[in-house]
Amino acid sequence: MALDAKIPGGPISEKWDRHRFELKLVNPANKRKFDVIVVGTGLAGGSASASLAELGYNVKTFCIQDSPRRAHSISAQGGINAAKNYPNDGDSIWRLFYDTVKGGDFRAREANVYRLAQVSNDIIDQCVAQGIPFARDYGGLLDNRSFGGAQVSRTFYARGQTGQQLLLGAYSAMMRQVAAGKVQMFPRREMLDVVVVDGHAKGIVARNLISGEIERHAADAVVLCTGGYGNVFFLSTNAMASNVTAAYRAYKKGAFFANPCFTQIHPTCIPVHGTYQSKLTLMSESLRNDGRVWVPKNQGDNRKPDQIPESERDYFLERKYPSFGNLVPRDVASRNAKEQCDIGKGVGETGHAVYLDFADAINRDGRDVIEKKYGNLFQMYEKIMAENPYEAPMMIYPAIHYTMGGLWVDYNLMSNVPGLFVLGEANFSDHGANRLGASALMQGLADGYFVLPYTIGGYLTGTPKADVTTGHKAFDESEKQVTDGINRMLAIDGKRTVDDFHKTLGHIMWDYCGMARTNEGLAMAQTMIQELRAEFWENVRVPGNTADFNQSLERAGRVADFLEFGELMIIDALARQESCGGHFNEKFETEEHEALRDDDNFCHVAAWEHTGDGQEPEFHKEPLVFENVKLTQRSYK
Amino acid sequence: MTKTINLTLKVWRQQGPKDKGRFETYHAKNISTDMSFLEMLDVVNDQLTIDDKEPIAFDHDCREGICGMCGCVVNGRAHGAEKGTTLCQLHMRHFDNGDTIAIEPFRAMAFKAIKDLAVDRSALDKIIQAGGYVSVNTGGAQDANAILVPQEVADLAMDAAQCIGCGACVAACPNASAMLFTSAKVSQLALLPQGMPEAAKRALNMVRTMDELGFGNCTNERECEAECPKEISITNIARLNREYLNAGFFSRSI
Amino acid sequence: MNWITGTLGSSIGKKLLMAITGFSFCGFLAAHLAGNLTIYGGKDAFNGYAAHLHALGPLVTVAELGLLTFFLVHVIIGLILFLSNLKARPVRYAVNKSAGGRTLGSATMPYTGAILLAFIIFHLMNFHFVDKTDTTIFNIVSNAFSNTGYVAIYIVAMVAAAIHVSHGFWSAFQTIGANHPKYMPLIRTVSIAFAVVVGIGFGFLPIYIFLLA
Ligand SMILES: Cc1cc2nc3c(=O)[nH]c(=O)nc-3n(C[C@H](O)[C@H](O)[C@H](O)COP(=O)(O)OP(=O)(O)OC[C@H]3O[C@@H](n4cnc5c(N)ncnc54)[C@H](O)[C@@H]3O)c2cc1C
Ligand code: HEM
Ligand code: SF4
Ligand code: FES
């Protein structure tokens, strides 16, 4: 199948305007005749639900948590980018566009990224109007900071809780529509299938997580905003319920999965400290503005950090990247930390950590200044590690944080299944092979507030209205499939818990499909996953029954999908014989150990089509054409 | 340094809203003091699963203290005894070897039981639906810097906006009142110029809804403030009282 | 009138009524205490104070009716609040610990209130609704307080009153929304000080008279 991204013609800066003009409008009086299902209430789903309802559509919104306000977006700390150029430091729409494309190692679609940069300013306006208490300077203007190595200060923030504030803004806009009767909210529901009728997405099948009941919901379009799949690694900075299930079941219904191997590792997380650990905690990247990263010069140096003299410390980022130093991009910082630990210089009980030292900054600026900047982060660190980072250096280690891959979508954010739209982290669209800090929040809100409300209208007017009800046989089939899957899992009654399988899978993924990959490792991992999957279906133990609040069952379904999806990631990683951004294959590196792209052969989006259980997925290519930026080798020396 | 402890847990088990519920005793062995409280429960649940018993149901998601999904009453204290800490951020190093820990769900008429430690807090969403927003549709907002907001005001608003909607204030309040939660949202929006046009209506409607949902009445016991994981201050409750009374007596809204 | 009942009938409205009535009782207590202190001036001073008071005639009646209304409001709403708060948590905690917010005063408001209610009825029957034709108020008071049982009841009641206002005083400010970081510490201090003054001021009177007698 040909992958047509439906990118409008004309100069890049005019594409979106032109497209908005060309899209057919839905008559205001007719909007109320259309039902739209939105799955997910993160920044993408929350903003989409609110905006669609404001326009007059009937929206049904679903989420796993007990309240839409708890979607995983809530935990984003650092901030949100926009090209406002308030600090007058040379930012512009064009620069944000360029930085994003370059940061993504030239594996993103130009037109989408440009649009993202264009609407970024509207997002900030909208959020302020909603009453989001962004940080301000003394004069009362909005404050900006520089983030993740950007050369301009374009990041808006609300203390260390930007995601929370943005999400609560979208949530309250949505609650207003719930009160107005335009959004019907279904919390504690897990979508388990997309229902496709005559090739169009016409509804979903979901499980009521309290009663266990399988519910059917029909609509004229389905919008997935179900977040990223970082939890395939078991340990990640994602929330516990983050999953690939929604996206993966859509994939099984014909939607293409794009670039699944593009995952992002965040360099500053609190290190793993035990096998019981259930998740990793991110420490905002802003810490690298003042902290210095180091390890002991000598392998196996077990002395306390304060007993290691300056001359026996290796500030490896400053040494290797004199101009960017500790502020190199996420992937570079992460890989270097891993490299130091791999050669035996790691610190802490496990040897899987490096120091992030604030002693110099405290000496230079005083403790007060540092406390003002990072107080809440230091407190969080102390809570978890029981160590005072004002006195001893922090220990950090990289962790899985974000997934750039996702369901393939065209310029309209519609997947190849007509009527199935995908927004936010769940789609693959804007970040290429690596996402810049503070750009995910921007993308989620751009998609939901400013893109989908236009493009969905184009689909709805352009498609004959078929009034599919939940009695349709496609729903029968879907429901049966879902119920069978559940019953099958419950019947196994094996010996290993769901989490046990999940942890094993996580180890495989982290070791072989994590920060640095090799062809041999990937091939081996593929076999290991197949074996693990086979064992899962024979030996997993899922207690309880289906007609109940059964959290083990919920997890089992998600892990079952991860066990299939992990293999898809590996297939994608193996197919992409180059290194780019978050995908680093050790075979392809520059002399400076940077990712070495192969633009002649891999300047494309890899989109995978499901061809049946246990069968190789089919590869589809969307070539990436760069008309406005020149492809260069990244260098942060 | 990591060490391990053994604990006796008295956990509230309740099949559903119609079940009466009772305490069951479990032994948590070799618990690392670096574990979080929820990780400790994970370990207990793993063992229960292997032993062919039903694991304990409890709500959680982010496990970093921001989503507000977790929360139980631990030895009589919502989210446990550590100040400014959610249950998921409470570490086992705060317990001693041999301790007995009683774990109960948040209890309030407005929070219906679901199962074991999980309760239904959708009443908090209903309070927000009654007015916890600024009525602006997407699009058409003026430039974000068009209205200046003094830093101090933005900071105060942010202090209130930090509420994670966990419901610990309700759980900890001797009267099961939701005033701290409600006041946090009312304060945030009453402080900012963007929220002012609707301030009167908002205060009236949110308080009315809160009352209808069966929460108790605030008697200024200050337990909420002491227990709130985000340390939201009761000065917000005073502000809500002010906003409400002003709205009730001096605004045109009814 | 809808907006009035709407506003006053809500949880905050009821609290407002509690605060206004309670706070005016605080005022009353202060005045009452000032009057009672004349007892230390001896029999004549005290009788003189009573006579002055009665000379105000209808004003006293108006004040008494006002107080009575306020009293009924305070008691009835206090009861309504108490019951609805009980109902708000139908299943109690098995283990219940304070996080440090509650005080002795705040935790016992309904109970100290009930003691006060009982006491006030008792007090009025003893000193207010009695035949004062052949005697002076000083005699009635000193008679009563020569009895240890009476003294004990009064002391208990005054301790209860002190505890009640130790929370009630500052709480009333919070209820009407007067919580300012600059002044709240002062209000809380005054609250405790007022409680001590009420407790000792009223509580010591019966002891003084008992010792005198
Ligand atoms: C710790 C952390 C910090 C971050 N900090 C930043 C930052 O500073 N700046 C930045 O730009 N980005 C940051 N990010 C990334 C950013 O937060 C996410 O990419 C973004 O919030 C994703 O939003 P979303 O709306 O796509 O999905 P999510 O917020 O993940 O929401 C997913 C929604 O889908 C629902 N859902 C999922 N599956 C199902 C199903 N099967 N059925 C029903 N519902 C389902 C969930 O209930 C949830 O409501 C951070 C991420 C993490 C983990
Ligand atoms: C001299 C007598 C009294 C004084 C000075 C007094 C004073 C007060 C004050 C100032 C408050 C605080 C109001 C607020 O928090 O806003 C209060 C509350 C209360 N009073 Fe009294 N009161 C007196 C008598 C009584 C009596 C007789 C009762 C009961 C029958 C009573 C029951 C209560 C209760 C239950 C509260 C708590 C209500 C709440 O906080 O919601 N009081 N009182
Ligand atoms: S006010 Fe505090 S305790 Fe109450 S819901 Fe918000 S965060 Fe939780
Ligand atoms: S699990 Fe999110 S706050 Fe505890």
Contact A404, A424 (CB under 8 A): no
Rounded Cα distance between A200 and C191, Å, is: 70
Beta carbon of B127 within 6 Å of any ligand 3 atom: no
User: Which of C5, C83, C95, C176 to probe the B interface (max B CBs under 10 A)?
Assistant: C95
Tell how far the Cα of C164 is from the centroid of ligand 2, in angstroms.
7
One domain for residues A393 and A481: no
What is the full per-residue pLDDT of chain C (213 aa) written as tens digits? 589 999 999 999 999 999 999 999 999 999 999 999 998 888 899 999 989 988 888 999 999 999 999 999 999 999 999 999 999 999 999 999 999 999 999 999 999 999 999 999 999 998 888 887 888 888 888 888 988 999 999 999 999 999 999 999 999 999 999 999 999 999 999 999 999 999 999 999 899 989 887
Beta carbon of B71 within 6 Å of any ligand 3 atom: no
CA A314 to mean position of chain CA atoms: 33
**Residue B59 placed within a domain:** yes
Q: Whose CA is nearest to atom 1 of ligand 3?
A: B181
Q: Which residues contact A93 (CB under 8 A, 6 or more apart)?
A: A13, A83, A114, A117, A118, A120, A121
Can you read off the two tokens belonging to residue B29?
């062995």
Beta carbon of B171 within 6 Å of any ligand 3 atom: no
Number of domains making up chain A:
2
- The amino acid that residue A258 corresponds to is A
Contact A263, A582 (CB under 8 A): yes
Model pLDDT for residues C98-154, shown as the tens digit of each residue: 999 999 999 999 999 999 999 999 999 988 888 878 888 888 888 889 889 999 999
The whole-number pLDDT of residue A444 equals 98
Rounded Cα distance between A513 and A519, Å, is: 10
* Contact yes or no for C107 and B174 at CB 8 A: yes
**Residue A520 placed within a domain:** yes
Nearest chain B Cα distance for residue A6, angstroms: 25
* Contact yes or no for B141 and A126 at CB 8 A: yes
Contact B73, B171 (CB under 8 A): yes
Last-in-domain residue among A400, A433, A462: A400
Rounded Cα distance between B173 and A126, Å, is: 36
The whole-number pLDDT of residue B10 equals 98
Ligand nearest, relative to CA of residue B67? 4
Sign, CA torsion A54/A128/A285/A89: positive
In B, minimum Cα distance to C92 occurs at B107
Rounded Cα distance between A475 and A194, Å, is: 9
Number of domains making up chain B:
2
Query: Is B183 exposed, middle or buried (CB count within 10 Å of its CB: 0-12, 13-18, 19+)?
Result: buried
Q: How far is CA C13 from CA A507, C5, C24, in A?
A: 59, 9, 17
Give the number of beta-carbon pairs within 8 Å between A and B.
Answer: 219
The whole-number pLDDT of residue A466 equals 87
Instruction: Write down the ipTM of this complex.
Output: 0.98
Tell how far the Cα of B75 is from the centroid of ligand 1, in angstroms.
33
The verdict on pTM exceeding 0.95 is: yes
In C, minimum Cα distance to B113 occurs at C91
Tell how far the Cα of B227 is from the centroid of ligand 1, in angstroms.
28
- The amino acid that residue A455 corresponds to is T
CATH of residue B146's domain is: 1.10.1060.10
% of chain B with per-residue pLDDT over 70: 99
Residue spans of the domains in chain C: they are 12-87+106-212
Nearest chain B Cα distance for residue C147, angstroms: 37
Beta carbon of C117 within 6 Å of any ligand 2 atom: yes
CA A2 to mean position of chain CA atoms: 26
Can you read off the two tokens belonging to residue A293?
């990263």
- What are the beta bridge partners of residue A606? A621
Task: Give residue B1's pLDDT band: very low, low, confident or very high (50, 70, 90).
Answer: low
CATH of residue A287's domain is: 3.90.700.10
Mean pLDDT across the stretch A362-381?
89
Rounded Cα distance between B106 and B116, Å, is: 10
Three-state secondary-structure class, residue A422:
strand
| Closest alpha carbon to A222 in A234, A240, A204, A207 | A204
One domain for residues B54 and B129: no
Which chain C residues are Cβ-neighbours of B104 within 8 angstroms?
93-95
- CATH code of domain C12-87+106-212: 1.20.1300.10
Can you read off the two tokens belonging to residue A596?
């070495």
Q: What angle do CA A108, A191, A240 make, to 5 degrees?
A: 75
Three-state secondary-structure class, residue A492:
helix
- The amino acid that residue B164 corresponds to is I
Three-state secondary-structure class, residue A292:
strand
Contact A406, A261 (CB under 8 A): no
The whole-number pLDDT of residue C42 equals 86
B201 touches chain C (CB under 8 A): no
Beta carbon of B220 within 6 Å of any ligand 2 atom: yes
Beta carbon of A45 within 6 Å of any ligand 1 atom: yes
- What are the beta bridge partners of residue A604? A623
Last-in-domain residue among B104, B137, B164: B104
Can you read off the two tokens belonging to residue A127?
């959020």
Q: Which residues contact B239 (CB under 8 A, 6 or more apart)?
A: B183, B186, B187, B190, B191, C177, C179
Q: Which residues of A are catalytic?
A: 330
Which chain A residues are Cβ-neighbours of B50 within 8 angstroms?
495, 497, 541
Mean pLDDT across the stretch A167-186?
98
Which of B122, B222, B232 is the best mutation target for the ligand 3 pocket, counting ligand atoms within 8 Å of the beta carbon and taking the most?
Answer: B232
Please determine, for residue A488, whether its predicted confidence score (pLDDT) is greater than 70. yes
| Closest alpha carbon to A579 in A570, A590, A571, A569 | A590
In which residue are the tokens 């989420």 written? A63
Which residue among B109, B214, B221 places its CB closest to the CB of C106? B221
Rounded Cα distance between B117 and B195, Å, is: 36
Rounded Cα distance between A385 and A297, Å, is: 24
DSSP state of A457: H
3-state percent breakdown (helix, strand, coil) of chain A, nearest 5: 40, 15, 40
Tell how far the Cα of C109 is from the centroid of ligand 2, in angstroms.
7
- What are the beta bridge partners of residue A204? A194, A217
Q: Whose CA is nearest to atom 8 of ligand 3?
A: B166
- Residue C14 CA, closest ligand 2 atom number: 41
Tell how far the Cα of B30 is from the centroid of ligand 4, in angstroms.
24
- What are the beta bridge partners of residue A158? none
- What are the beta bridge partners of residue A37? A60, A222
* Contact yes or no for C97 and B222 at CB 8 A: no
Tell which phi-psi region holds residue A568, choosing left (phi > 0), alpha (psi between -120 and 50) or beta: alpha
Q: What angle do CA A77, A80, A86 make, to 5 degrees?
A: 130
| Closest alpha carbon to B7 in B102, B115, B124 | B102
Please determine, for residue B88, whether its predicted confidence score (pLDDT) is greater than 90. yes
Chains A and C touch (3+ CB pairs under 8 A): no
Which chain A residues are Cβ-neighbours of B141 within 8 angstroms?
122, 125-126, 128-129
One domain for residues A396 and A274: yes
Query: Is C54 exposed, middle or buried (CB count within 10 Å of its CB: 0-12, 13-18, 19+)?
Result: exposed
**Residue B113 placed within a domain:** no
Last-in-domain residue among B57, B75, B104: B104
Chains A and B touch (3+ CB pairs under 8 A): yes
* Distance spanning both ends of chain A, measured CA to CA: 43
Model pLDDT for residues B99-114, shown as the tens digit of each residue: 999 999 999 999 999 9
Task: Give residue A203's pLDDT band: very low, low, confident or very high (50, 70, 90).
Answer: very high
**Residue A409 placed within a domain:** no
| Closest alpha carbon to C107 in B109, B171, B174 | B174
Which residue among C87, C95, C99 places its CB closest to the CB of B172? C99
Q: How far is CA A139 from CA A126, A554, B147, C101, in A?
A: 21, 50, 11, 37
Rounded Cα distance between A20 and A127, Å, is: 22
Model pLDDT for residues A535-559, shown as the tens digit of each residue: 999 999 999 999 999 999 999 999 9
**Residue B115 placed within a domain:** no
Backbone phi and psi for residue A606, each to the nearest 5 degrees, phi listed first: -95, 115
Q: How far is CA C193 from CA A40, A523, C24, C112, C153, in A?
A: 55, 78, 17, 18, 23
Task: Give residue A1's pLDDT band: very low, low, confident or very high (50, 70, 90).
Answer: low
Contact B21, B36 (CB under 8 A): no
Contact A413, A109 (CB under 8 A): no
Neighbours of chain A (3+ CB pairs under 8 A): B
Q: What angle do CA C160, C163, C168 make, to 5 degrees?
A: 120
CATH of residue B37's domain is: 3.10.20.30
**Residue B111 placed within a domain:** no
- The amino acid that residue B149 corresponds to is V
One domain for residues B93 and B158: no
**Which pairs count as long-range contacts for C63-67, CB under 8 Å and 24+ apart, including other chains?**
C67/C28
Nearest chain C Cα distance for residue B78, angstroms: 9
Tell how far the Cα of B180 is from the centroid of ligand 3, in angstroms.
7
> Other CB atoms closer than 10 Å to residue A363's CB: what's the count?
9
One domain for residues B126 and B246: yes
Number of H helices, E strands in chain A: 18, 21
Element (H, E) at B225: helix B223-227
Q: How far is CA A473 from CA A66, A222, A476, C126, in A?
A: 31, 18, 5, 85
Contact C110, B221 (CB under 8 A): no
Which chain B residues are Cβ-neighbours of A384 within 8 angstroms?
89, 91
Task: Give residue A151's pLDDT band: very low, low, confident or very high (50, 70, 90).
Answer: confident
Q: Which residue intervals of chain C are DSSP H helices?
A: 2-9, 11-36, 43-55, 58-87, 104-107, 109-127, 137-144, 148-175, 184-212
**Domain residues for B16?**
4-104
**Domain residues for A537?**
473-610
One domain for residues B98 and B135: no
Contact C47, C138 (CB under 8 A): yes
* Contact yes or no for C14 and B217 at CB 8 A: yes
The whole-number pLDDT of residue C130 equals 84
One domain for residues B86 and B199: no
Beta carbon of B65 within 6 Å of any ligand 4 atom: yes
Rounded Cα distance between A586 and A521, Å, is: 11
One domain for residues B233 and B128: yes
Ligand nearest, relative to CA of residue A75? 1
Say how many CA atoms lie within 13 Å of A105 toward its Cβ: 29
One domain for residues B129 and B246: yes
- What are the beta bridge partners of residue A309? none
Model pLDDT for residues A93-148, shown as the tens digit of each residue: 999 999 999 999 999 999 999 999 999 999 999 999 999 999 999 999 999 988 87
Backbone phi and psi for residue A177, each to the nearest 5 degrees, phi listed first: -75, -25
A221-224 and A420-422: which strand pairing?
parallel
In sequence order, what DSSP letters do the residues of C28-71 get, joined into one string?
HHHHHHHHHGGGGG-HHHHHHHHHHHHHTTHHHHHHHHHHHHHH
The whole-number pLDDT of residue A2 equals 67
One domain for residues B99 and B133: no
| Closest alpha carbon to A21 in A454, A415, A414, A418 | A454
One domain for residues B209 and B89: no
**Residue B112 placed within a domain:** no
Which residue among A140, A449, A450 places its CB closest to the CB of B151? A140
Tell how far the Cα of B114 is from the centroid of ligand 3, in angstroms.
20
* Contact yes or no for A129 and B143 at CB 8 A: no
- Residue C82 CA, closest ligand 2 atom number: 35
- The interaxial angle of helices C11-36 and C58-87, nearest 10 deg, is 140
